[in-house]
Chain A
Amino acid sequence: MALGNQGPVELYGAEMGVTPRWMVALSLCIGFGLIFFLGMVGGVMKAAQGDIVHLSAATFYALLTLHGAGMIATVVVLTAVAHWHFLRRLLNLRVEVLVFSVLAIVWGLLAAAAAILVGGFGPGWTFLYPLPFIGNTWPVWSTGLFFFGVLFVGIGFAIFCIDLLASIIREYGILNGLALDTIFPGLRRADGKVAPPTVIAATMVAIDGLLTAAAGTVLVIALLAHWAMPAFPVDPLWIKNLTYFFGHTIANLTIYLSAGVIYAVLPHYTGRPWHTNKIYAISWTTSLLFVPWAWPHHLYMDFVQAPWLQIFGEASTYIATIPAAVVTIFGALLLVYRSDMRWRIGSTFFMAGLLGWLVGGVAAMIDATIPFNDVLHNTLWVPAHFHTYLLGGVFLFVIGFASYFAGDDAPTPPWAKVFEWLFFIGMIGFLAMFYAGGIEGVPRREAVQPAPGPLLAMIGTVFAGVLLVGMTGLLIEIFRRGRRNGASRESDAT
């Protein structure tokens, strides 16, 4: 099996002074640090909307942009690194490439943060043309710097995907990376080796990730050209489509990266293997084909958009949910059902994350239904649903992974349970206020909201505080375990 190749990889990394384990640990620490800081920024925004603190509109929109862009880039890094942790051995991945792509993303994020914090750049994380260029409150240099930052994030992610794809081609071939050999006997390998589910997920992410990064690069280069030469023509409708192709898909892919982690981790807690079969091949090929076509659901209210795109966008969004609902989440529940599950921080967070993914997914599908979208589009329903599956899904998977990675064999101590409860109660209350705001028609992205926005935001701020306290306690516990177990592992080695 490919597992036998572990040795040289470890050595190769060690030569650079970076062992893969250290790279994963380091990325987790940077990522959690960023999440904590950006979560505080989120709390401050809520407090401003709830009239608890005062921010100028320009400051509010700068913080909004920082929070959104920063969180997305951070969860891309965190989920990519977590998935990489399992793929490294299966695909013989080189740690240098990961170091390089994480550096590029973090570097891009720093450039974007400088544009935002120093320049006050604040058109929202989707930077919809032409607001970055006209009718705004920030200097021209900050617009350019922000786009350079996005370019670096795109390049970092592209490098990650290229390395994945190249390794998959080498070890399995693209078709067998999707396990299509389970359907077409002609593809079957002599040694009978079939790609495990986590590799299938990686194949889909690598291909769609490259498409996304390519779209992002075209987008940012066009905008940079326009920035350097305002005469360079840019079409607002084309740019909006490209923006959401990039933005929607890259955010969405963090869930598919997480799925790869779930396939690898749940067997550890349930003591049951997770096998590849035909259904996985069909389902991931479907995701591969339809996830890149879901973006038009962001343009339903642009009535000039070609009708076939509107309709196809809705159909693709629906179709893209089938693999998740029928295969991955159902499969996870089946794996857990009547298993001898060890309930630890890790397993608890994985189950909770699956729940958040599903509940947020239902809210997303309602929003992606055209006749409902005209009363939900750009209301708080939007941050409601994506916080449910990013904060209440992807982020929980990352915490679950960190806990698994740090060593999750001891039962959760009572004081950590308290933080767990604080985290979940805070999160549910925080999310509920977003949903309530959406149903009440309160717009998203408002420095000053119409009623009942401020009241809901005030309650939401309290819940956000509880959430952040719970999160701090949990991260400290995970960090402590990581240090303890990491130290004992090192002393084993010497």
Chain B
Amino acid sequence: MVPIVGKQLVILALWLALSTIVVVVFAWVVSSTRRPAPQGEVQPGGYRLRRLWGWFYGTLLVAAFLVTLWTVPYAWAQGSSAKPALVVHVYAHQFAFTMPQKLPAQTPIEFLVTSLDVNHDMGIYSPQGVLLGQVQAMPDYTNVFFFTFPAPGRYIIRCLELCGAGHSYMFQPLQVYQPASAAAPLARGV
């Protein structure tokens, strides 16, 4: 099994928590039908609750939207904070990625990703198998994708877009090494 960490952990927790609330509410409503009451009696309270729920839900959405605006993975949003130290071209094609086989860790990399035939998608899996990020590879277009490998190790680059009969076999290792400049302080630790 792949460890559930990082974003995946947040996502799982969020979905489980919200789904549990939903299930509990439904169970409560279903069980309430055992003690029926006239509609006129429950409706006014229901409408008040709906107004509250509407405001609460709306506020939640606005907050979520604003938070995500600051954390989108696009070049225009990352701008100055992610000055790339390295520019790497990636050419996806059936059924491999033409790109370097070794790249440095802890170095902001600007990937220029395109495809030579059909649509592909470059997914980056950590040495533990955790999906860390991805970008589509589309013919005629170049996607600019910033990524920093957190630590050295053997990563897997895997295609995440159905691209033909060999789609399942379109993956390859990527060796991420400790760059010379950053190596000194960290070398002992790992």
Contacts and interface: CB of A to CB of B under 8 A. Distances in A.
Interface of A: 57-58, 61, 123-124, 128, 130-131, 134-137, 235-237, 240, 272, 279, 299, 301-304, 307, 310-311, 314-315, 318-319, 321-322, 325-326, 330-331, 333-334, 336-341, 343, 351, 354-355, 358-359, 362-363, 366, 369-372, 374-379, 435, 439-441, 443, 445-452
Contact of A135 (B37, B158, B163): B163
Nearest to A315: B65
B23 interface: yes
A334 B72 contact: no
8 contacts: A130-B118, A322-B58, A322-B61, A326-B57, A337-B42, A375-B131, A446-B167, A449-B168
A310 B138 CA distance: 17
Contacts, number: 216
A452 B1 CA distance: 6
A111 to B, nearest CB: 22
A314 B167 contact: no
Interface of B: 1-2, 4, 6-8, 10-12, 14-15, 18-19, 22-23, 25-26, 29-30, 32-33, 35-37, 39, 41-43, 46, 50, 53-54, 57-58, 61, 64-65, 68-69, 71-76, 94, 117-119, 121, 123, 125, 129-136, 138-145, 158-169, 171
Contact of B117 (A61, A130, A443): A130
A355 B23 CA distance: 7
Given A338-B36, A376-B11, A441-B131, A359 B64 contact: no
A310 B72 contact: yes
Contacts of A446: 167-168
A323 to B, nearest CB: 10
Contact of B139 (A236, A311, A448): A236
B18 to A, nearest CB: 5
B125 A441 contact: yes
A291 to B, nearest CB: 16
A334 B161 contact: no
A237 B141 contact: yes
Contacts of A236: 119, 138-141
Contacts of B132: 375
B65 A314 contact: yes
A362 B160 contact: no
Given A363-B15, A441-B130, A301 B22 contact: no
A358 B19 CA distance: 8
Nearest to A332: B29
B109 to A, nearest CB: 14
Nearest to B95: A135
B26 A355 contact: yes
Contacts of B2: 440-441, 451-452
Contacts of A379: 131, 160
Contacts of B165: 57-58, 61, 136-137
Given A303-B144, A318-B64, A339-B39, 20 more contacts: A240-B138, A301-B121, A304-B144, A307-B74, A321-B61, A322-B54, A333-B29, A338-B32, A339-B33, A339-B36, A355-B26, A358-B22, A366-B11, A366-B15, A370-B68, A379-B160, A440-B2, A443-B123, A443-B160, A450-B129
Nearest to A445: B162
Contacts of A371: 7, 68, 71-73
Given A318-B64, A330-B50, A338-B35, A135 B15 contact: no
Contacts of A325: 57
A310 B75 CA distance: 13
A214 to B, nearest CB: 24
A375 B133 contact: yes
Nearest to B32: A338
A134 to B, nearest CB: 6
Given A131-B118, A362-B18, A443-B160, A370 B73 contact: yes
Contacts of A123: 162
A279 B165 CA distance: 50
